[in-house]
Amino acid sequence: MKITGAQAIVKALEHENVDTIFGYPGATICPFYDALIDSQIRHILTRHEQGAAHAANGYARASGRVGVCVVTSGPGATNTITGIATAYMDSIPMVVITGQVSSDLIGRDVFQEADITGATAPFVKHSYLVKSAKDLPRIVKEAFYIASTGRPGPVLIDIPVDIQNCEIKFEYKDNVDIRGYKPNLKGHSLQIKRVADAIMKAKRPVICAGGGMLRSDATEEFLELVEKCNIPVTPTLMGIGVLPSDHELNLGMLGSHGVYAANYAINNADLVIILGARVGDRAMSKPNQVAKKAKIVHIDIDPAEIGKNIEVSIPVVGDLKQILKELNTFVNKSEANEWVEELKRKKKEHSVKINPKGTSDYVNPKYLLSILAEMVDKDTIVTTEVGQNQIWAANNFVARRPGSFITSGGMGTMGYGLPAAIGAKTACPDSKVICISGDGSFQMSMQELGTMKQNKIGVKVLIFNNYRLGMVRELQKVRHCSRYTQVFLDENPDFVGIFKAYGFEGQTITNNKDIKKALKKMLEDDKPYLLECIVDPEESTL
Amino acid sequence: MGKHTLSVLVENQPGVLSRVAGLFSRRGFNIDSLAVGVTEDPEVSRITIVVDGDEYVVEQVSKQLNKLIDVIKIKQLESFDSVSRELALIKVNADTATRSEIIQVVGIFRANIVDVSKNTLTIEISGGTDKVAALEDMLKQYGIKEIVRTGTIAIERGNKYIKAKNNDKE
C-alpha cells in the first residue's frame, strides 16, 4: 500500500517513539499537519517558532530523548535558527523539520522561500534537503540516529511541499549505516589505565565535569569514581546536576561566574580531569596556564574537542559512561585527603554571606533561591533565562539530580527559559518545573504564556525584577566606568497583570520576610503561577 | 606555519562542497587551494585541500572535517611521499618576433601549446606549484593576457591508496 510523503514522515516519527512535537504550521508544511491529525502524537502549538525549538530543547533535556520541532518554510524556518544554534552549542539532541517550497520552485525566490539548510549550516550537526519522497523514511531514521548518538546535536530536515504529497511505499529499516559517521564509543584501554595511574599518583586532583556527563548518562559511574577516589568536583554551567550541588565533594561552579573554591582548585591542582566539557572561555579563561601547572586529562566523545582549547597530557576519546565504568575498575582511594580538606575550608571561607533579614524594599535573589532549594523535592526541574538570574540560580539553587537544571550555556540565549520549561514540563508532567527569569529575558518569550494556557502546562515562573538588564548593567559599571546605556526597563509592564490576563495567578513580593510564604503558595498546586520578586538593581551577580 | 595537503573523501552529493568550504571560513582556517572531482567510485568525490597553518591548525581542520557526516575519510599527504600537480592555462602575447622564443621556453618546461592566434599563444602546463610559478615568471616578459589555474591535486606514492571502503575514518 502506498502512502504520502507526509504520512511517511508521521509514521517514521511514530517508529522513533516520538510522543510529543512542538511546532507552528504554515503553507508548505500543511500536508504534514494533515497527516498528523490521524496520529497519536501530541502536537503543542507554540506562539513563535523560536519557542517551538526551545521547547523541543527543554523536552530533550528533561526526558533524555530527541526533541522534535516542526515549522513551515521561510520565516517559520528562520525563526528556529536561534533555537537550533542554542541546541548546537549545548549538544542537545533535536530534530527540526521544516517545510520548503515546491522542489520545482526552489531558487526562484518564491513566497516564503528561504535556504534554511544553507542558513543553519554552521549550527547543525547535519541537515537534509529532501529531493525524493522515497528517501524520507531513511532520512528520518538517520536524523534521529545522528542527533542522539556520538556528541548529540540538532539535525534539520527540509522537506519541499510537493515531496510531502508524493506517494511512496513505506519501508522503515531498523539499522543505520552511514559510512562517514561511526562515533567511537569505547575509550582506549591503555589511555584509561594511564588516567587511573595519574589519579593514584595525584596529590591535588580536581574534576571539571561538563554537559557531556549528562548527555552520556554517566552520573552513576561518576559518583562511584568521585567517592571511591575522594576527588573534588567542579561542574561547568552545563554540568550542574551531575553531582548534587550539596554533595561534600562538590566545590560549586567554576569560571568567570563561578565560585572561589572551584577556581582555586583548578589553578592549584596537580591533576585536572576534564570530563565531557569543552573548556569554554567562561569556564577557563586561560586554560594553558592551568595546563602549565597541572597534568590535564581530557575525556570526551568528540575528538575535535581534544586539544582545541587546552593542551592535554592524557586524552581519551569515547563515551563517558563506558570509560568511567572501566576506569572505576582500576582506581582506589587517592592521596588527596589534605587537598580535599583544604578545599572544603576554602569553600566555607569564601561562601557568600547573606543576611536573611535583608532590606525592606528588595528581595535577595540568592537567599530566595537557597530557600527554594530547601522547599522543593529532587524531581523538581529548574530552567533559567540568561543574565544575572542564570548565575544566581547556578550558584544558589541546589540541583539534586541530572537534568534538573536546564539552562542555555554555550549560546546564552535570552528567551530560552520559558519555552524550555514548557518542554520540560511536557516531558515530566509529574515534576514541578520552575522557570527562573529576569524582567528582561522574560519579555523575550512571554508570548509563550499562551502555549501554557492552551495546553494546560503548569509552569511556575519566578521573575527577578530589577527593572534593568542587570548583567549588562554590571558590565557597564565595571568595564565602562558606570556609563549606563540602554539597560533601563523602568517601563516594565505589570507582570502579574499579564499572568492574570491569561487566567493565571501570581503575586509580587518586595522583601525577604515574605519569601517562604510566597514560595509555599507558588508550589502548592500544579497550575501556572508567577512570583515576581523586586530586586535591588545594585544586587551583584556573584 | 607551512603548507599541508589533505585528501578528503566525501559523499558525492550536492551541498557537500559548501559544507566543507563553509567550515573553513567559520573556523577561521586559511585554504590555499581546493580541488574536487569524482573518484573511481561514482558515489565518492575526492577533495584535495592545501591548508596554510601550523600543526594545531591542520589537526583542527582534520578533526572538524571529520565531524561532517558527509566526510568519509581524511588523510594528510606528506610532500616527500606523494605526487602533487596543478594545471594552468596561460595566454601570452606572441607575435612573429617572439613566437619561436616562447615555444622554446615552453619546450624547456615540457609544457604544451594548446591554442595559437596571430598575436597570442595559449600554453598548458601541469606540475608542482613551483614549476607553474617558474613558467609564469618566464612568460611575464612577453605580456601575460590571462591565467587560469586549478587547485593542487595529490596522490600518494607507491602501493598506498585512500579508499572509502577499506576501513573507518582515520
Whole-complex ipTM: 0.88
Verify whether the Cβ–Cβ distance A121 to B69 is below 8 Å: no
The per-residue pLDDT for range A285-332, each reduced to its tens digit, is 888 888 888 999 999 999 999 989 999 999 999 999 999 999 999 999
Name the fold adopted by A365-534. Rossmann fold (3.40.50)
Q: Do B83-153 and B3-82 have the same topology in CATH?
A: yes
pLDDT of residue B164: 80
Residues of chain B with pLDDT below 50 are 168-170
Superfamily of domain A189-349 in the CATH hierarchy? TPP-binding domain (3.40.50.1220)
Residue B13 forms contact with A (CB below 8 Å) = no
| Phi/psi of residue A530, nearest 5 degrees | -115, 125
pLDDT of residue A284: 87
CATH number of B3-82: 3.30.70.260
pLDDT at A164 exceeding the cut of 90: yes
- Spell out a b/e string for A80-92, using b for 16 or more CB atoms within 10 Å of the CB, else e: bbbbbbbbbbbbb
pLDDT of residue A351: 84
Q: What residues does each domain of chain B span?
A: 3-82, 83-153
The per-residue pLDDT for range A194-212, each reduced to its tens digit, is 999 999 999 999 999 999 9
pLDDT at A257 exceeding the cut of 60: yes
* A205, A209, A215, A218 alpha-carbon torsion, rounded to 10°: 30
Q: What residues does each domain of chain A span?
A: 2-169, 189-349, 365-534
pLDDT of residue A90: 97
pLDDT of residue A357: 77
pLDDT of residue B168: 45
Compute CA distances A542 → A367, A391, A468, whole Å: 12, 8, 17
The per-residue pLDDT for range A441-452, each reduced to its tens digit, is 999 999 999 999
**Mean pLDDT across the stretch A256-269?**
93
**Mean pLDDT across the stretch A460-478?**
96
- Domain formed by B83-153, architecture: 2-Layer Sandwich (3.30)
pLDDT of residue A358: 76
Judging contacts by C-beta atoms under 8 Å, the chain A residues touching residue B169 are 180, 182
Residue B55 forms contact with A (CB below 8 Å) = no
pLDDT of residue B170: 41
CB pairs under 8 A between A and B: 40
Q: Are strands A529-534 and B3-11 parallel, antiparallel or unpaired?
A: unpaired
Is A2-169 CATH 3.40.50.970?
A: yes
Judging contacts by C-beta atoms under 8 Å, the chain B residues touching residue A304 are 60, 63-64, 66-67
Residue B167 forms contact with A (CB below 8 Å) = no
Verify whether the Cβ–Cβ distance B60 to A308 is below 8 Å: yes
Verify whether the Cβ–Cβ distance B66 to A303 is below 8 Å: yes
What share of chain A in percent tops pLDDT 70? 100
Judging contacts by C-beta atoms under 8 Å, the chain A residues touching residue B165 are 179
Judging contacts by C-beta atoms under 8 Å, the chain B residues touching residue A302 are 67
Contact (Cβ atoms closer than 8 angstroms) between residue A277 and residue A236: yes
pLDDT of residue B169: 44
Nearest to B69 among A118, A122, A146 (CB): A146
pLDDT of residue A354: 81
Nearest to B69 among A121, A180, A302 (CB): A180
What average pLDDT does chain A have? 95
**pTM of the shown model:** 0.94
pLDDT at A539 exceeding the cut of 60: yes
pLDDT of residue A110: 96
The per-residue pLDDT for range A143-156, each reduced to its tens digit, is 999 999 999 999 99
Residue type, B113: I
pLDDT of residue B1: 66
pLDDT at A391 exceeding the cut of 60: yes
SS3 A327: helix
